[in-house]
Amino acid sequence: MKKIIILVLAFGAGMAFAEFRAGFARVDATPPLGLPLVGYFTTRIADGVLDPLYIDCVAVSDGTNSALIYCVDDLQLSNAFLAKAVPEIIKATGVPREHIYVHSTHIHTGPASWPWGNLTEEERRLVKLHADARIAKMAEVGRLALADLAPARIGIAKTDCRGVSFIRRYRMKDGSVRTNPGITNHAIKEPLGTPDETLQLVRFRRTGAPDIAIVNFGVHPDTIGGTKYSADWPGVVRCTFEAAVGDGVKCLFLNGAQGDVNHNCHFPPPGYAALYVERKTRPKAFALHMGRAVAGAALTVWDVCEEIPAGPIRGIVAKHPMPVNRPTADEIKWVEMFDAGRTDEIPLGSMEIKTLTSPWSRVRRMKNGPDHFDILVTSLAIGDDLAFAGLPCEPFVDIGRAVKARSPFRMTVFTCLTNGSEGYIASTKAHAEGGYEALSSRFAAPTGDRLVKAQLDQLTALKNAARKKP
pLDDT digit string, tens, across residues 392-449: 999 999 999 999 999 999 999 999 999 999 999 998 888 888 888 887 888 999 999 9
Least confident segment among 40-44, 186-190, 376-380, 393-397: 40-44
| Total residue length of the chain | 470
**Rounded mean pLDDT of 14-27?**
77
Task: Taking each helix axis as running N to C, give the angle between helix 285-302 and helix 270-278, from 0 to 180 degrees, rounded to the nearest 10.
Answer: 130
Report how far residue 378's alpha carbon sits from residue 386's, in angstroms, rounded to the nearest whole number.
Answer: 14
Q: What is the pLDDT of residue 370?
A: 85
Q: Which of 244, 217, 250, 214 is nearest to 233 (CA)?
A: 217
3-state secondary structure 50-86: CCCCEEEEEEEECCCCEEEEEEECCCCCCHHHHHHHH
pLDDT band at 354 (very low <50, low <70, confident <90, very high): confident
The partner residues of 104 in beta bridges, in order of sequence, read 72
Buried b (16+ CB within 10 A) or exposed e, 120-152: eeebbebbeebbeebbebbbbbbbbbbebbbbb
pLDDT band at 11 (very low <50, low <70, confident <90, very high): very low
In the chain, where the domains are located: 18-320+373-467, 327-368
Of all residues in the chain, what percent are helix, strand and coil, respectively (each to 5)? 35, 25, 35
Q: Give the CA dihedral 277, 282, 287, 289, nearest 10 degrees.
A: -70
pLDDT at 243 over 60: yes
pTM for the complete prediction? Answer: 0.92
